[in-house]
Amino acid sequence: MAENPVPATPTDPAAPRVSEPRPDEVDAVLALADRAQAADGHPPLSDQTRVVLARGRQRWWGVVREADGSVSGAAVLAPEGGEDSGSVLELVVDPEARRAGRGAALADAAAVRERGLESTTSVWAHGMLPGSDALARRHGLEPVRELRRMRLPHEALADLPQPQLADGVALRGFVPGRDEQAWLDANAAAFADHPEQGGLTRADLEDRMAEDWFEAEGLLLAVREEDDALLGFHWTKVEPQAGPGPRVGEVYAVGVTPAAQGLGLGRALTLAGLHRMAGQGVDVVDLYVDADNAAAVRLYESLGFGLFAADAQHRRP
């Protein structure tokens, strides 16, 4: 964050004040994030940050409270990967309480907390909402990564080709109690250069398996028929329907191990998961992909995905 951060407690008595949250305010912060997502169409907190917060493993967090005690803003500083990794900061402000200095106050408070770790801290601007880039630059941060949100419309979802698997490869669902370590090993190998996904731990996996959207059969595994060795996977995500609007499925993660590269598994696994979600009645399917992953972007575009939104990660130059 900022090299010369301003105090966490503003000198202007009318300015928003950042307070240390109580443990029982986790639910309030998560509910705030849900309200912001409903209003903006973009989640302000990543799944990993939500898990870290629910487990009390955040490195720092702060909230802005209103006169009635309700939480109108929150900031969470979480490990970017493992415990020895850098930190990632995410902010959320209630849609009804924006443009009144709450976001700036939260960013300033986080800057004070992280004054010794500026070079390892990044900030995500989910949806690249107005003001987020200016706030990041105020603290000397510049965009270094673009994460695209791509969407497959309903008409394309209804007209997908069937997946074609290489000889000797089969698809099956994840089996809880048996496949955890094999999946963790495959995930770490497939995403060795991806700090968020590649750094998932057994506890992270179990936390996701406890979510109401998790279905073991929705975590598709590509295995070698002769020995059941895990070659790749497509983790699909379909949230329970909540309120009006289209039902959205998500290509949560597609990974292929280095040993299985060249078998066409990326396309086959993606198609298999899309067909599964179509059978569950989703209207559209979203996915997230790094803008500089040209091969993946081309694959998804060839299947009918188009750019829907984007997130930006900021760091100190």
Give binding residues for acetyl-CoA as ranges. 91-93, 254-256, 261-267, 293-298
Altogether, the residues listed in the chain come to a count of 317
Binding residues: 47, 91-93, 196, 237, 250, 254-256, 261-267, 288, 293-298
Q: Are 80 and 123 within 8 A, CB to CB? A: no
For residue 172, give the 3-state DSSP assignment.
Answer: strand
User: What is the torsional sign of CA 300, 306, 311, 315?
Assistant: positive
**What is the C-alpha R_g of the chain?**
20
> In this structure, are strands 121-125 and 87-93 parallel, antiparallel, or unpaired?
parallel
For residue 12, give the 3-state DSSP assignment.
Answer: coil
For the chain, counts of helices (H) and of strands (E): 10, 12
Q: Are 231 and 269 within 8 A, CB to CB? A: no
Q: Please identify which residue in the block is written with the tokens 């290489």.
A: 166
User: What is the torsional sign of CA 245, 249, 251, 252?
Assistant: positive
CA distances, 76 to each of 16, 113, 141, 208, 289 (Å)? 17, 11, 17, 19, 23
